[in-house]
A and B are shown apart, each in its own frame.
Chain A
Amino acid sequence: MSIDVSGLTKTFGDFVALDDVTVSLPTGQLTALLGPSGGGKSTLLRIIAGLDTADAGTVTIEGREATNLPARKRNVGFVFQHYAVFKHMSVAKNVAFGLEIRKRPRAEIDKRVAELLELVHLSQFRDRMPSQLSGGQRQRMALARALAVEPTVLLLDEPFGALDAKVRKELRDWLRRLHDEVHTTTIFVTHDQEEALEVADEIVVINDGRVEQVGSPDTLYDKPANDFVMRFLGETTDLAGQTVRPHDIDVSMSPGVAGSTPGTVTRILRVGFEVRVTVTTDDGAEALVTMTRTLARSTGVEEGAKVWLTAAKGATAVPVMRAV
């Protein structure tokens, strides 16, 4: 049982948002749809929710064919980047909306709303209007509203995108803990690789309307399928025709190792514990190496020094594919 998307295609005029996407998203997990802006991940999420319709392809939610089902019948919770709160309703009313539409008894609604507000730590704000809440509080309210109807799947579209860095980080941790408590199948869209790596059980990398790779954060980081995934999931640099991580390069002051690339240190930047060394190799390319302050000192790296670079043993590396 899961959410199965098969052969989804969606175009907006000339722009291809999704190009024959087939992917299966496992039940009970927290899955991230990761990719650059305009890559099609939000479109995929909206099609799963029934807020957009695909030109071709099918969507199955927990074994139930949902391709032609309207949004209101899919039992899907949706959280929007800009909260989409009902401005004229109090916090409690917002959360109760889905239950009131389902005509549940008043007492049951009140009980459920109280539970949910407790869950998202907004109990003391139940009678406030949304305009009196901060961004983070509004998003938590939106989350409670979506959870109120006990959705089969919870979809979040860049849920922390409009929040400042500190709140974003807090909410990210909180979402992870909430998911461990509630276990609702959750899919969230993000363009922030750190967010995806930190929160998700499984990541689907989407670019140019296609799925580049599906896997756990470790798999994606350690065994990227191609240089796009590698580049998107963290800092990279090119060395001898390969894409490697800057912290996976060994620097030597003498040409000891066979196959090492000679170059000259052209710039050193110290950021806290980290030292970022720019090396111009003898064939004119630039490579970035990062190392700890301690290592830089003991190696004796300094501007103008002649160095030899090698990819560290066991480093993740993929061949450079330029002009993709």
Chain B
Amino acid sequence: MSTATARVAGGRPARVRRPASRHSLTKGSALGLGVGMIWFSLLVLIPLTAVVWTAGEGGLGTFKDALTNKQTFNALKLTVLSSLAVTGVNIVMGTVIAWVLVRDRFPGKKLLDLVIDIPFAMPTIVAGLVLLSLYGAESPLGLEWNNTRKAVLLALAFVTVPFVVRTVQPVLEEMDTDVEDAAASLGASRATTFRRVILPTLAPAIFAGATLSFARAISEYGSLVLLSGNLPNRTEVASVRVYSAIEGGNQQSAAAVATILLLVALVAIVVFDLIQRRLARRG
């Protein structure tokens, strides 16, 4: 009500409204907001700005150089495409695993529930070692995938398994099976119920997990350096490229690649959110 009145009387709504809303914060929440903002700025905003700043110092030319450098471009391409592929796999497999963990009963269910988190908890370099001993040269499985692009996909898939599972699981647990029964009694087949009732409910969780999984994948370093071999133009990923740029003393180029990765992540978050909203609304 007060908003409406302010708009009519003030003519310039936003300006009139602002001070009132600031006063509506209690002391406690004002303090909380302040501390939260400072913490977030120190940890996230300021360092990020510094990276973008460093990259921007050289002007647009730095970005152009970075992107026209064949090796850098290939590294970025491999990173983004692999991450997208792995995220796609996670959307399907993560949802399936979450479904099995919530809806089915089988021996060893508790154990599986526990094991899912191991890729989270494990130091990434240890993950790399595990993968190397299984899929590297002299692999006991006969799959010598080291120094191939398969290795990149494998490492990314390994470290991102838990994301979609862990975001979908609580939503599935909360979900009432009555809703599925209602759809069935209204004449819906299992497939229709899944598409029109279950999926729209899970979509926000699935895409939250997908976003996390994608972000983790484009930034992954530790788990894949050992197995992928970092072959230029073949298996070298963007984060390795950033690292070698810094090693070579080229701060600006490193910052440029980093900024591009940042942009990709940002675009991904927005796109995933849009898809999610569409799915959730479709019903």
Contact = CB atoms under 8 A, between A and B. Distances in A.
Contacts of B248: none
B186 to A, nearest CB: 4
Interface residues of A, number: 30
22 contacts: A49-B181, A51-B184, A70-B184, A72-B184, A72-B185, A72-B189, A77-B185, A78-B181, A78-B182, A82-B176, A84-B179, A84-B182, A86-B182, A88-B200, A89-B283, A97-B183, A97-B196, A101-B192, A102-B187, A145-B182, A146-B186, A149-B186
A71 B197 CA distance: 16
Interface in B150-196: 176, 178-179, 181-189, 192, 196
The 10 residue pairs across chains A and B that have the minimum distance between CB atoms = A98-B186, A84-B178, A78-B185, A84-B182, A71-B184, A88-B200, A89-B283, A80-B178, A72-B187, A101-B187
Interface in A10-55: 49-51
A84 B186 contact: no
Give the size category of B's interface with A.
20 to 34
A111 interface: no
B283 A84 contact: no
A274 B189 CA distance: 56
Nearest to A90: B283
A69 to B, nearest CB: 12
Interface of B: 176, 178-179, 181-189, 192, 196-197, 200-201, 280-281, 283
**Chain B facing A: main interface SS:** helix
Interface of A: 49-51, 70-78, 80, 82, 84-89, 93, 97-98, 101-102, 142, 145-146, 148-149
A146 to B, nearest CB: 8
B182 A93 contact: no
B178 A82 contact: yes
Nearest to A51: B181
Residue from A84, A102, A142 having most chain B Cβ neighbours under 10 A: A84
A98 B197 contact: no
A82 B182 CA distance: 11
Contacts of B188: 72, 97, 101
